[in-house]
Structure 1
Amino acid sequence: MLNSFSRPQAKRTQASGFVAKSIFATVTASCTLGAVGIELAAGQAEHKFRLIGQLPPADTFTGTESQLLADGVYLFGEDPEPEQVGKAYMVFEVRRGRLIGAFYMPSSSFDCVFGNAQSERLDVTIVNSYERTTYPYSVPLLDLHPIDSFSANDRRILSTCTETYQQQVWNQ
C-alpha cells in the first residue's frame, strides 16, 4: 500500500524554479532512447515499494538543522504527473539517511545516484550511465513535486541502481 505525500506549502521564486530545471537539464543531458534494466519479481515489488512518511511542513525548515528523510521509496518530478515525456524525474530509496536512486526522463536512459537524504534536500553523487564518471550534486526537494504512484519503469530503474550500489552505500 502506498501512502500519499502532502506537498509542503513553499513559496517558489522564479530563481528557484530555474535552479530545479537547470539541475534536471544537466543531469538528463546525456539521455537517449531505450533504458535498460531488471524487473523486480512480483512479490519483491510490493514489499520494496511500501512508502512511509511525509515531507515535513515547509515552515519546519530552518536552514540550521537537518532532519533525515524517513526510510522508504520516493518519486519526485518536474511535473506533478508521472511519466510526462520531456520532464525529468527522480526515484530513490532511503535507508537510515542514505539513498540510492536515479534521475531519468520517460522513454530515455537514466543515471544512477547515491548519497545522503535530508528532509529538504538530497546530496548525491551522480554516475553518468555512459562514461561512468561521477560528480556531486545537491537537489532541493522543495522545488520538485512528490508523486505517490510508481510505474513498472520506476521499479526497474530503481532495482538496477540498487543492485549496482547497495554494497557500496548500505553495506548489504
Structure 2
Amino acid sequence: MVALINKSDRKRSYIWLFAFLNRIEKPLTAFFVTLGLMLVAIAQSHAHTIEPIAESQQIAVAPQSSLVSQHAENGVYLYGQSEQPFEMGSEYLVFEVVEDQVVGGFYMPNSSFDCFYGEVQSGQLNLNIISAYDEEVYPYSIALSSDDAIAGSEPQATPLQLVGFHQLDSLSDLDQQILNTCRADMV
C-alpha cells in the first residue's frame, strides 16, 4: 500500500532538503561541475567522427591562377583549429608530406584519432580518412591558401597553409606517436 504524504510533511521535507543543500552547496557544486565537465569531455571524445563530405558542401578553394606551380614542401606539419596546442574541443592534424603524398592523423585532445592518406593537388589537400571506429574510408578535402605561390611554368615547393587551421611550431610526443602509428598503418 502506498503511503500518502500530507502537505505539511512535504513542506518539512523540502525545508530540510533546502537546509541540507545549503550546508553542502560549495562541495556539491564543485562535484557536479567536475562531473559535468567530465561527461562533456567523454561525450566529445565519443562523438568525434569525421563524416564524409556531401557533394552539396562547398569547400573554399584558392584561385586557380595562383596555383599553377604550387607543390608542397616535403616535411612534417602540425595544424590545429586553435593556435594553442592541446586545447580541449579543438581538432588537430599531424602529417608528413613526401613528394605531394600525405600520411598522418586527425585527433582531438583526450580522444581517439583517425589516420589518413592522400595528396596535395590543385590547391587542396585531398585525404582519405580511415575511421578508427569502423575502419571505413571517407574522402575529405581541405583548401590550401596560396599566399606564397607564384604562377609560372617552374614548380615551386612551398610550405602548406591550410584554410581554417593554424600551423603550430613543434610536435609533442603525442603528435609524434600519432604520426608514427599512422605511418606504420599505411605500410
Asked whether the two chains share a fold, i.e. TM above 0.5, the reply is: yes
Percent identity of paired positions between Structure 1 and Structure 2:
39
Q: TM-score, normalised by structure 1?
A: 0.59
Q: Does 1:160 align with 2:161?
A: no
Q: Does 1:29 align with 2:32?
A: no
**Which protein, 1 or 2, shows the higher relative CO under an 8 Å CA cutoff with sep ≥ 6?**
1
Q: What letter corresponds to residue 159 of structure 1 in structure 2? A: N
Kindly state the Cα deviation for residue 63 of structure 1 after the two structures are TM-superposed: 1.9
- The separation in 2 between residues aligned to 1:144 and 1:119, in whole angstroms, is 18
Kindly state the Cα deviation for residue 29 of structure 1 after the two structures are TM-superposed: 2.0
CA contact (8 A) 2:64 2:123 kept: no
- The separation in 1 between residues aligned to 2:139 and 2:122, in whole angstroms, is 18
Which stretches in structure 2 are left out of the alignment for 5+ residues? 1-43, 51-61, 144-161
CA contact (8 A) 1:83 1:106 kept: yes
Q: TM-score, normalised by structure 2?
A: 0.55
Size of the aligned set, in residue pairs, is 111
Specify the alignment match of 1:54 in structure 2: none
Which stretches in structure 1 are left out of the alignment for 5+ residues? 1-24, 32-60, 168-172
Distance 1:129 1:69, change over 3 A: same
Specify the alignment match of 2:82 in structure 1: 79
Specify the alignment match of 2:172 in structure 1: 151
Distance 1:119 1:82, change over 3 A: farther
- The separation in 2 between residues aligned to 1:119 and 1:74, in whole angstroms, is 19
Specify the alignment match of 2:8 in structure 1: none
RMSD (Å) for aligned C-alpha atoms = 2.1
After superposing the two structures, state which structure 1 stretch, 88-97 or 118-127, moved more.
118-127
User: Which protein has the larger Cα radius of gyration, Structure 1 or Structure 2?
Assistant: 2
Higher helix share: 2
Specify the alignment match of 2:91 in structure 1: 88
